[in-house]
């Protein structure tokens, strides 16, 4: 009991000291001293992050707004990332992400994922880690739903396809350093890669990979074959900002939301005679549409849809990875296109994105609708075109790469809705960190756009 009281008193003294420094700064009519700011930032950040780590499912409650002096922005970003690593250290260790196996040590770890599911995951590294970190590739196997499966792991086909995915990953881009995350289907009776448990698992895997320090945060990729190809294709249109490049093989989703592929390298391989579910015809449709978009925006739509001559459902799988590895993830693109939509209406689930690139959707109420967004940034000016079908609430805009001495102007459908100078704030950085867990997206300021 005594030790607990002593610890609490010590904590209270630290808080009183921070408040005293703040009060003295205010009473003197001066800006907060560097010492006072850093003490306050450290305390507020850790209080927030301890209850908003990777295991938190609650909507984060942001602390008192602490303004960040311009000369302290980089220091604060570094502080937050270090604190984020601290509060998630045990979670990282339990995940095994920081301790992958080499290509010759075929093994797996078991993750508990949402909705009571469990997922077997092989973690494989090839070659020595580059100074800047490994490219990180999520590799999805084929197979899928088995209506006759009596339990979660009752499909021999999914077992076989998972083994094939491991073997192929060991051979992809031989000689190139890489880190492969190779999951087995969590429930053969469901058999899809793009439902809510899988979305959360893949986002969590990337966040943990960032925390591990083993990967290059600019080099994250998603690929898959057949059912894995469908998964990678649909996820490409849902969460493109998590990846530098995406490569579906032997699969093609029905055509929609092509605009969401702006800013991510997209490579597809489908056989000429792969007519199951109309895959060859759908691939041709995607090829034509993306070619047209690339002519309009050659720097933004980097793609290749290759319809392999003479091939059926089985194609040459070794073309994709070397192409993907050339791509670098875009964090703050000047032109952003995205349709906010329910990704899984055909499965009776409601899955809307929480945010993409530097847009925060957590303040939106979808109401079963959609919101088409086209944003162009030039210096301090954000021009946003919105086509809204039933969505209410507000759109969060993280502001970065601009002149702090001039006002930020936001125009929506040609009308100025915001014109003001913005300040760097701790709450903005914490908000972005809680959303993406991304060292490259600790944005210093945030605006709200009411719909």
Q: Return the pLDDT at 15.
A: 53
58 has pLDDT over 80: no
Mean pLDDT for 248-257 is: 96
- Ordered structural domains, the chain, with CATH: 2-92 (no CATH), 95-324 (3.40.50.1820), 335-450 (no CATH)
Q: How far is CA 225 from the centre of its chain?
A: 21
Residue 150 has pLDDT above 90, yes or no: yes
pLDDT at 6 over 50: no
Instruction: Return d(Cα 43, Cα 115) in angstroms, integer.
Output: 35
Q: What is the per-residue pLDDT across 397-433, written as a single tens digit (0 to 9) for each? A: 999 999 999 999 999 999 999 999 999 999 999 999 9
**Tens-place pLDDT, residues 312-354:** 999 999 999 999 999 999 999 999 999 999 999 999 899 999 9
36-50 pLDDT per residue, tens: 999 999 999 999 999
CA atoms within 13 A on the CB side of 279: 28
Higher-confidence residue of 114 and 348: namely 114
Nearest to 363 by CA among 352, 349, 374: 352
Q: Which residues contact 437 (CB under 8 A, 6 or more apart)?
A: 54, 84, 207, 210, 211
Q: Tell me, what's the pLDDT at 61?
A: 79
pLDDT surpasses 70 at 1: no
pLDDT tens track for 276-320 = 999 999 999 999 999 999 999 999 999 999 999 999 999 999 999
Planar angle of CA 175, 181, 184, nearest 5 degrees:
125
State residue 3's pLDDT score: 34
Better pLDDT: 36 or 81: 81
Is pLDDT of 16 > 60? no
Mean pLDDT, all residues of the chain: 92
3-state secondary structure the chain: CHHHHHHHHHHHHHHHHHHHHHHHHHHCCCCCCHHHHHHHHHHHHHHHHHCCCCCCCCCCCCCCCCECCHHHHHHHHHHHHHHHHHHCHHHHHHHCCCCCEECCCCCCEEEEECCCEEEEEEEEEECCCCCCCEEEEEEECCCCCCCCCCCCCCCHHHHHHHHHHHHHHHHCCCCCCEEEEEECCCCCCCCCCCCHHHHHHHHHHHHHHHHHCCEEEEEEEEEEECHHHHHHHHHHHHCHHHCCEEEEECCCCCCCCHHHHCCCEEEEEEECCCCHHHHHHHHHHHHHHHHHHHHHCCCCCCEEEEEECCCCCCCCCCCHHHHHCCCCCCCCCCEEEEEECCCCHHHCCCCCCCEECCEECCCEECCCCEEEEEEEEECCEEEEEEEEECCEEEEEEEECCCCCCCCEEEEECCEEEEEECCCCEHHHHHHHHHHHCCCCCCCCEEEEEEC
- pLDDT value of residue 313: 97
- Average pLDDT of the residues in 425-443: 97
pLDDT of amino acid 178: 98
CB 18 within 8 A of CB 36: yes
pLDDT (average), residues 18-42: 66
In contact, 291 and 268? CB cutoff 8 Å: no
Record the pTM.
Answer: 0.92
pLDDT at 220 (0 to 100): 98
User: Does pLDDT of 13 surpass 70?
Assistant: no
- How far, in Å, CA of 433 to CA of 83, rounded? 11
Banded pLDDT at 63 (limits 50, 70, 90): low
Q: What is the per-residue pLDDT for 179?
A: 98
- Average pLDDT (67-72) is 94
Residue range 58-74: average pLDDT?
Answer: 85
């Amino acid at each position: 009991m005594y030790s607990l009281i002593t610890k609490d008193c010590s904590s209270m003294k630290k808080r009183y000291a921070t408040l005293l420094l703040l009060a003295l700064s205010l009473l003197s009519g001066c800006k907060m001293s560097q010492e006072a700011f850093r003490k306050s930032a450290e305390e507020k950040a850790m209080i927030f992050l301890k209850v908003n780590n990777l295991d938190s499912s609650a909507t984060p409650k942001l602390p008192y707004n602490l303004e960040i002096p311009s000369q302290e922005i980089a220091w604060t970003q570094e502080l937050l990332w270090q604190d984020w690593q601290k509060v998630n250290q045990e979670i990282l260790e339990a995940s095994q992400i920081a301790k992958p196996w080499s290509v010759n040590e075929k093994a797996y770890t078991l993750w508990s994922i949402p909705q009571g599911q469990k997922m077997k995951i092989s973690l494989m590294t090839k070659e020595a880690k580059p100074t800047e970190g490994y490219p990180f590739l999520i590799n999805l196997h084929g197979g899928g739903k088995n209506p006759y499966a009596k339990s979660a792991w009752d499909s021999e086909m999914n077992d076989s396809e998972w083994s094939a995915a491991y073997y192929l990953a060991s051979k992809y881009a031989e000689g190139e350093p890489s880190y492969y995350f190779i999951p087995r289907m969590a429930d053969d009776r469901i058999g899809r890669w793009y439902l809510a448990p899988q979305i959360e698992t893949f986002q969590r895997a990337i966040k943990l990979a960032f925390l591990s320090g083993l990967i290059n945060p600019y080099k994250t990729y998603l690929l898959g074959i057949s059912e894995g190809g469908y998964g990678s294709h649909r996820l490409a249109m849902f969460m493109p900002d998590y990846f530098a490049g995406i490569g579906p093989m032997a699969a093609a989703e029905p055509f929609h939301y092509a605009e969401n592929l702006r800013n991510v390298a997209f490579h597809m391989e489908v056989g000429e005679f792969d007519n199951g579910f109309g895959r060859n015809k759908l691939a041709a449709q995607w090829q034509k549409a993306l070619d047209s978009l690339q002519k309009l925006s050659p720097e933004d739509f980097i793609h290749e849809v290759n319809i392999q001559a003479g091939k059926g459902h089985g194609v040459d799988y070794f073309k994709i990875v070397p192409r993907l590895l050339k791509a670098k993830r875009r964090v703050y693109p000047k032109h952003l296109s995205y349709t906010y939509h329910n990704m899984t209406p055909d499965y009776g689930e409601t899955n809307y994105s929480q945010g993409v690139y530097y847009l925060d959707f957590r303040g939106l109420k979808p109401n079963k609708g959609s919101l088409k967004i086209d944003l162009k940034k030039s210096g301090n000016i954000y021009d946003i075109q919105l086509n809204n079908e039933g969505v209410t609430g507000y759109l969060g805009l993280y502001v970065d790469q601009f002149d702090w001495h001039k006002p930020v102007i936001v125009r929506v459908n040609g009308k100025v809705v915001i014109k003001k100078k913005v300040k760097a704030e701790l709450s903005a950085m914490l908000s972005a960190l809680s959303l993406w867990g991304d060292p490259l997206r600790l944005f210093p300021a945030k605006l709200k756009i009411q719909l």
